[in-house]
Every structure is written in C-alpha cells, then in structure tokens.
C-alpha cells in the first residue's frame, strides 16, 4: 500500500494522515521517502512523522498556512523518538481543532493531501470508515470528513483513502458491490477521489458508475474480482 501511495505523492504536498489502519503506518512504511518539501497539517500524529522532519523530507517550505511549521491538534500517536524531536522544537506547533480541522481554512494549504483509512468501499465510491459490515459501529468519524472535504476543496488537492483489499484473513473483500443494509457511509460518492490497496490505485474523480466499478475492481483482491464484475454487470449492464 505504501509503495502505491509513494507513486502519487508530489513534492510540496501538505499532508494529513489519519490515525486508523493502515494510514497511520504510512510514515514508517516509506510512503513519503522519495518526496521533497512536504508540509504537515494534521489532526493527530503518527509514528515516524517527526523523523521525516529530522531527515529533511518535511520542511513546510511550500505551505500556504503556517509556512515552515508542522501543525496538529495533538501529537498523540507519534512514537517516543518523534516526541523527543518535537519537544521544544519551534518547527512543531499545536492549534485548536476549529482551526486545524476547518475545511474552509485547511483547503487554503498548498496541494492539501488527505490520507485516511476505510473499512469498505462500494463500487460507487461510497467510503465506510465507522462500522464493520452492516452497522456494527466500531469508531466515529473523527476528522476524516473535514480533512477529506478540505482536500477536495483545495486547488490541486487530493483526498486519498488507503485500505487493505480484504478482511477476516482474506475471506471478505473490502471492495464491495453494495454496502450491507445499515452501513454508515463516512464519505459520500460525490467526494470520492483516490482509493489505494496493495493491488493498485483507483482514481474515481469525474468517473461514471461503470468506470468507477472498473477502477475499484482492478484494486480488489484477485479472488473476488470475478464476482464483483458479475455484480457490477447486474447493477449497470
């Protein structure tokens, strides 16, 4: 997943990374190692975040808001080495959530790029990040809708969703034809942008239903692609 994400991260991106899995692992997994002049504007920290500043990958030099600074609501989620780098460091700042997570404000960043996780995505691009297949809620929305909207509003922004292709030891596809009844949709289809699994990158923006289905089936686990194609055929012919 990190390898696929690395292919689309641009020099100068201002990034937000959600605390879910697998998004929170992207710093340590090397997703940003090839980039230059990254900025941080995020809700919470993640392991490895501050180490990118120490390595010179993050410098905030292209940021529109808080240039030269990495900003968050809290650095919760960073590991011990990160916190040692952050402590007393003027390059890292904390601000109120109504500033950091205000989509109208956040979207003013240069190349705002949100990276969040999902539990499942249907073939329309509806992203479910709160419940486990059928309304069994496991967490709230957190800042995902705010950061996703900010990236969608930003000129040259990108709203990225990362997830594994399967759950339950490979027995369940996380790309589904239709969500189960009662599923809580976190991000509606009209805001869906880029979905990444270990099998590739699906670009949904400005695509019709059939095109979205083709994109998403291409990044589903191979064991489930034939069934997803059959279900897509039933839905749209």
What is the per-residue pLDDT across 54-83, written as a single tens digit (0 to 9) for each? 999 999 999 999 999 999 999 999 999 999
Q: Looking at residue 133, what is its pLDDT?
A: 62
Is 43 considered catalytic here? Answer: yes
- For position 214, what pLDDT does the model report? 98
Number of H helices, E strands in the chain: 8, 13
More confident residue, 12 or 20: 12
- Per residue in 191-217, pLDDT (tens digit) is 999 999 999 999 999 999 999 999 999
Domain of 145, in residue numbers: 2-236
> In angstroms, rounded to a whole number, what is the distance separating the alpha carbons of residues 59 and 53?
6
pLDDT at 142: 86
Average pLDDT over residues 117-130: 96
Cis, peptide link before residue 22, omega less than 30° from 0:
yes
**pLDDT value, residue 140:** 76
Q: How confident is the model at residue 138 (pLDDT cuts 50, 70, 90)?
A: confident
On the 0-12 / 13-18 / 19+ scale of CB atoms within 10 A, 41 is buried
Q: Report the pLDDT averaged over residues 93-101.
A: 97
How many domains does the chain fold into?
Answer: 1
Q: How confident is the model at residue 139 (pLDDT cuts 50, 70, 90)?
A: confident
- Looking at residue 226, its pLDDT comes to 98
The per-residue pLDDT for range 141-169, each reduced to its tens digit, is: 889 999 999 999 999 999 999 999 999 99
Which helix (H) or strand (E) element contains residue 61? none
According to the model, what pLDDT value does residue 141 have? 84
Whether residue 132 has pLDDT greater than 90 = no
Catalytic residue (one of 43, 180, 215, 227): 43
CA-CA distance, 23 to 152, in Å (whole number)? 18
Residue 135 has pLDDT above 70, yes or no: no
Above 90 in pLDDT, residue 237? Answer: no
Q: What is the domain-level CATH number for residue 17?
A: 3.40.1080.20
Around 226, how many Cα atoms within 13 Å sit in the side-chain half-sphere?
1
Strand partners, 160: 115, 194
Place of tokens 């809580």: 184
**Chain mean pLDDT for the chain:** 96
DSSP 3-state assignment of 198?
coil
pLDDT given for residue 134 in this prediction: 64
b/e 6-30 (16+ beta carbons within 10 angstroms → b) = beebeebbbbbbbbbebbbbbbebe
Q: For residue 226, give Cα distances in angstroms to 73, 163, 209, 233.
A: 44, 20, 18, 11
pLDDT above 90 (res 137): no
């Amino acid at each position: 997943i990190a390898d696929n994400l690395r292919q689309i991260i641009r020099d100068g991106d201002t990034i937000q990374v959600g605390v879910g899995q697998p998004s929170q692992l992207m710093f340590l997994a090397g997703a940003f190692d090839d980039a230059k002049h990254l900025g941080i504007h995020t809700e919470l920290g993640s392991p490895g975040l501050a180490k990118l500043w120490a390595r010179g990958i993050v410098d905030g030099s292209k940021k529109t808001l808080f240039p030269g600074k990495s900003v968050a609501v809290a650095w919760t989620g960073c590991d011990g080495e990160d916190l040692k780098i952050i402590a007393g460091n003027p390059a890292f700042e904390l601000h109120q959530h109504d500033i950091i997570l205000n989509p109208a404000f956040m979207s003013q960043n240069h190349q705002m790029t949100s990276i969040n996780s999902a539990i499942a995505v249907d073939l329309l691009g509806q992203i479910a990040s709160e419940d486990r297949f059928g309304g069994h809620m496991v967490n709230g929305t957190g800042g995902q809708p705010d950061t996703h909207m900010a990236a969608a509003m930003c000129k040259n922004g990108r709203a990225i969703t990362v997830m594994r292709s399967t759950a339950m030891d490979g027995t369940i596809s996380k790309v589904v034809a239709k969500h189960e009844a009662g599923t809580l949709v976190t991000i509606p289809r009209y805001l869906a942008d880029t979905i990444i699994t270990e099998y590739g990158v699906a670009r949904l923006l400005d695509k019709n239903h059939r095109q979205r289905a083709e994109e998403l089936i291409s990044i589903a686990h191979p064991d489930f692609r034939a069934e997803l194609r059959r279900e897509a055929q039933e839905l749209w012919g």
